[in-house]
A and B are shown apart, each in its own frame.
Chain A
Amino acid sequence: MSGSGTSGVTRLRRRAVPYLLALPAAVWLVGLFLVPLLVMLVKSLETCSPMTGACTMSWHWGEFGSQLSMFHKQMLTSLKFAGIATAIDLLLAFPIAYWIAFYGGRRKNFFLLMLLVPFFVSFVIRTVIWEFLLSNDGIVLTTLRNVHVVSTDFHILGTSTAVIAGLAYNFLPFTALPIYVALERIDRRLLDASQDLYASRITTFTRVILPLCIPGIFAAFLLTFIPAFGDYVNQQVLGGIGNTMIGTVIQNTFLINLDYAGGSALSAILMVISLVGILLYGRLIGSATIGEFL
């Protein structure tokens, strides 16, 4: 072919452009995400000195089993707390998202912003403020005690309720936003069509709206459950003895016990559990839709 020299170069350049554009993100992803992940997995097979924190590769696969047998209780506590908090969030977020999507009118963006504004404050600060609110001499309990709704020895701080409440509060936007997106995307003419075909408002909800936002609900579930499952801040600030979550255990294993191998093994286990959730999602709802809501 004549002139293939120049057109070949052009073609090459054209083909290279997408890769060049993706390069910064790829470097970021590999350098700051994949490499640490691999380091973590490698670490979980090493043996570390509790005194110095220095580790040597020993191919010690037993770390996973021993960590699991030591901390399965905290693992279960985390599953329970994250599960309850996610359930609460789904129940709270759905009506909020529904209302904004269907009745927000021109002010939709304003309402969404209102939902997000508290979350412009740092995660830790927010949780600490909850500690103030819920503390024994804090505004909530003092008021309730003064009007004799609760007895003088009633307390919230340090209980599982406080941890679950904190988790539910902190992850609410992660639940509300995917559901909002799913509801917002529903073609309103489908609702006309449903009513036209003898479906009442309730039937329209159960037969059309709900099935169409299932992918959004599942995305909301993942985005809430996974971070809540691994969270350690809420439990440390609001919880007490007897409701330790696995996130706290991992943090202590790394930073206090300097047991990098054990911490890595626990993290890997946590990750596997989360991955199972995502794979289930893919199986149940189809992997094509997941990206649209996350």
Chain B
Amino acid sequence: MGESPAPVNVRLVNVTKQFAEVRAVDNLSLDIRAGEFLSLLGPSGCGKTTTLRMLGGFEEPSTGSIFFGEKDVTGLPPYRRDVNTVFQSYALFPHLSVGDNIAFGLRRQGVSKADAAQRVGEMLELVDLAGLSARRPAALSGGQQQRVALARALVNRPTLLLLDEPMSALDAKLRKHMQIELKRIQSQVGITFLYVTHDQEEALTMSDRIVVMNQGRIEGLGTPREVYERPQTDFVASFLGASNLLPGILGSATQGYYDVEVTGGHRLRVAAANVAEGLTASSAVQVGVRPEKIHLVPSARAEEAGTNCLRGVVRVATFSGVGNQYLILSPDGRDFTVYAQNIGDALAPRTGDEVEMRWPVEHTFVVRPSGTMTNEGE
């Protein structure tokens, strides 16, 4: 795909956006690495779209700065930024043909008609829409419109491509297909993608890194695996996938492990690497484990080293084809969710059975209360 400008990092430095009464983005700092696929994930109203709009130039930060490489773009209008956007509803120009839609940005930048036509042709090829150049957007399906929106943005070879929930209007099957397509196109063009979504699966499948946002702040940042396996806050632990979280007090470190005193008198062991940053001994924390990491064993079985265990009674057992989902009631009255894959286990527990929940210490994590992340994203 032609020569792209030298990729540069995009940095948000202490960016805050205050609307009349709402602080949509709260002192956010983030480095977007050149060429990466970064997702901003969070519930609606978490500030992810405002962040995207500030990067695009549609909103100006109340305080803080945005840099493209060394260049401060904070006050620049959208048309003077090297950024393009794929809008949620595509926002294709209804009075222009597909080809003219894609050529719009090039023509405004002074690219000649002939050169623009050639690049439009290449783009249509890339997004698999060759031959549809003369159509009007209204004559295309939702998936095709989305490809046009993508082509219209990509053809300008921006420093940063912003994607604002571009899949939300597609049906589930098409969405899956487009996820793969998008990833292919991204690796082909090598442009930095910032993908805004509230769909965690989308974020996990496509991203190089994920930023989890809540209430205008970054709650977690890292590769999909890091963010999933070692969530930093209770918000991330329960927003991204599901987690069983127990309140407790962090003990002191011994040989790379911490003990957490859980309310109810139990003690759970956790690897130091899985303890959220910035926590010290005797802080109030939550200790967690993902439902799929827990094994259910008959309660009489001998203890194993390197595992945490808790007793409980099966309250609900649900069969879902690929697996079983259990609700286990612990003696201190807490419900645990457990997923077990359906591997034909004849000993699968039934409602009312006494069981022991066991999970490896490595899969135990300790999170901070939400909203306390202060360090800036690397």
Which residues of A come within 8 Å of B, CB atoms? 187, 189-190, 192-200, 203, 207-208, 211-212
Contact = CB atoms under 8 A, between A and B. Distances in A.
Given A190-B93, A193-B93, A203-B108, A198 B79 contact: yes
A186 to B, nearest CB: 10
B108 A197 contact: yes
Given A211-B95, A212-B95, A196 B89 contact: no
B105 interface: yes
Interface in B55-107: 56-58, 77-80, 83-85, 87, 89, 91-95, 104-105
8 contacts: A190-B94, A192-B78, A192-B87, A196-B79, A196-B84, A197-B79, A197-B104, A212-B95
Contacts of B93: 190, 193-194, 208
B152 interface: yes
Given A189-B89, A192-B58, A203-B108, A197 B95 contact: no
B109 interface: yes
B105 A198 contact: yes
A196 B161 CA distance: 11
B156 interface: yes
B54 to A, nearest CB: 13
A293 B10 CA distance: 46
Contacts of A199: 79, 104, 108
A197 B153 CA distance: 8
Contacts of A190: 91, 93-94
A196 B95 contact: no
Contacts, number: 61
A168 B93 CA distance: 34
Contacts of B108: 197-199, 203
B76 to A, nearest CB: 11
Given A189-B87, A189-B89, A203-B108, A196 B78 contact: yes
Contact of A195 (B78, B89, B92, B94): B78
A200 B76 CA distance: 12
A193 B91 contact: yes
Contacts of B78: 192, 195-196
Contacts of A194: 93, 104
B280 to A, nearest CB: 46
A196 B83 contact: yes
Interface string B243-263: 000000000000000000000
Nearest to B82: A198
A208 B79 CA distance: 14
Given A190-B93, A212-B95, A197 B84 contact: yes
A192 B91 contact: yes
Contacts of B109: 198
Contacts of B91: 187, 189-190, 192-193
Contacts of A212: 94-95
Nearest to A212: B95
A192 B86 CA distance: 11
Question: Which of A190, A195, A207, A212 is the most central at the interface, judged by chain B CB atoms within 10 Å of its CB?
Answer: A195
Q: Which 9 pairs of residues, A with B, have the shortest CB-CB distance?
A: A197-B105, A193-B91, A198-B108, A195-B78, A189-B91, A196-B85, A211-B95, A198-B79, A197-B104
Nearest to A214: B95
